[in-house]
Amino acid sequence: LIKRSEFEIRAEHDHEHGARLVVCGDLDLATVPELQTAFERLLSADPPKVSLDLRGLTFADSSGVRLLIELSDRAREGACELEIVRPPAEAYTVFRISGADVELPFVDG
């Protein structure tokens, strides 16, 4: 009934770029735990670098922002270099509202 973009996380590894999570759909209260679990699982292998590809993000809310702040802290603790590929404008709004746009390691995809 609810027309929502299917939330999907895909983990990819390649030798050149290290570990990579591709996230698609809405990142909100309902889907935050899924991303958190996937990220923790990825991090448990101590990768030197992780890329979080948010180009497929259709929406994010404040819980999504909070999660990314947490993940960025976690990556720092684990001496893992994190980069976040900037989501499309609509999903990026909440990062601008929260001031996380300048704090999180966003890069253009």
List residues binding other proteins (CB under 8 A).
Answer: 1-4, 28-30, 59, 61-63, 65-66, 69-70, 73, 94, 96-100, 103
Q: Which is nearer to other proteins, 12 or 90 (CB)?
A: 90
Q: How far is the CB of 59 from other proteins (least distance, A)?
A: 6
- Confirm if 64 and 30 have CB atoms less than 8 A apart: no
Strands 8-14 and 106-107: unpaired
Q: Taking the complex as a whole, how short is the minimal distance between the CB of residue 26 and other proteins, in angstroms?
A: 8
Nearer to other proteins, 20 or 35 (CB): 35
Q: Say how far apart CA 78 and CA 59 lie, in whole Å.
A: 28
DSSP for 52-97, please give it.
EEEEEEEEE-HHHHHHHHHHHHHHHHTT-EEEEEPPPHHHHHHHHH
Nearer to other proteins, 20 or 39 (CB): 39
Shorter beta-carbon distance to other proteins: residue 17 or 66: 66
